[in-house]
């Protein structure tokens, strides 16, 4: 199928916007809430800080939230994300929290994608590709996390091909 100029523009706009897939998608409003409004407050504050790229504030909010709710995969995932995106990321801590998110919720797609991106930051393409293969088995068609990790691996390989 040939894409027209409007399709290309829409795809370009979607690809250039900041990703909201930092964690598991928000639940369907028809489903019972996993957490009450008070318990969700730190995650919403952290998302707002992440949207502003205020990594220090996001890290502080999420560090405290993880200490209070150590069994919440989304909190571990967002904490690792904020650490990875911030200045001078402590990659040991990043890996620890992504892996904890996956230990708590082995089907957490965003944690799997972002762990793959963390491996790319460390130059470990093979581990990133392993996570991509895992996403192949977990994702439904059109899975954003799989597409994003595949694109990140491709970009990494292109950038490092001439080195």
Dump the DSSP string for 126-144.
Answer: HHHHHHHHHHHHHPPTT-H
Predicted confidence (pLDDT) per residue in 128-144, tens digit: 999 999 999 999 888 99
Distance, CA of 38 to CA of 5 (rounded, Å): 46
Distance, CA of 98 to CA of 77 (rounded, Å): 5
Task: Give the domain ranges of the chain.
Answer: 36-106, 107-163
Predicted local confidence at residue 162, as pLDDT? 67
Predicted local confidence at residue 41, as pLDDT? 84
Per-residue pLDDT for 72 more than 50? yes
Residues found in the chain: 163
pTM (two decimals) = 0.76
Predicted confidence (pLDDT) per residue in 56-65, tens digit: 999 999 999 9
Phi, psi of 103 (to 5 degrees): -65, -40
Q: What percent of the chain has pLDDT over 70?
A: 75
For residue 52, the Cα-to-chain-centroid distance in whole angstroms is 16
Is residue 139 within 8 Å of residue 151, measured between CB atoms?
Answer: no
Is residue 138 within 8 Å of residue 103, measured between CB atoms?
Answer: no
Distance, CA of 59 to CA of 152 (rounded, Å): 24
36-106 has CATH 1.25.40.10 classification: yes
CA torsion 138-140-73-114 (nearest 10°) is 80
Distance, CA of 124 to CA of 153 (rounded, Å): 10
Q: What percent of the chain has pLDDT over 90?
A: 69
């Amino acid at each position: 199928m040939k894409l027209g100029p409007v399709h290309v523009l829409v795809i370009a706009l979607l690809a250039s916007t900041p990703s909201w897939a930092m964690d598991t998608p928000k639940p369907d409003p028809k489903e019972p809430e996993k957490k009450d409004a008070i318990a969700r407050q730190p995650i919403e504050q952290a998302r707002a800080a992440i949207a502003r790229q205020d990594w220090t504030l996001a890290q502080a909010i999420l560090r405290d939230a993880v200490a209070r709710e150590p069994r919440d995969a989304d909190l571990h995932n967002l904490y690792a994300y904020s650490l990875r995106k911030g200045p001078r990321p402590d990659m040991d801590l990043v890996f620890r929290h992504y892996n904890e998110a996956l230990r708590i919720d082995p089907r957490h797609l965003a944690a799997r994608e972002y762990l793959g991106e963390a491996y790319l930051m460390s130059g470990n393409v093979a581990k990133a590709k392993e996570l991509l293969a895992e996403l192949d088995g977990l994702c439904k068609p059109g899975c954003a996390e799989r597409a994003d990790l595949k694109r990140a691996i491709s970009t990494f390989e292109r950038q490092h091909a001439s080195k």
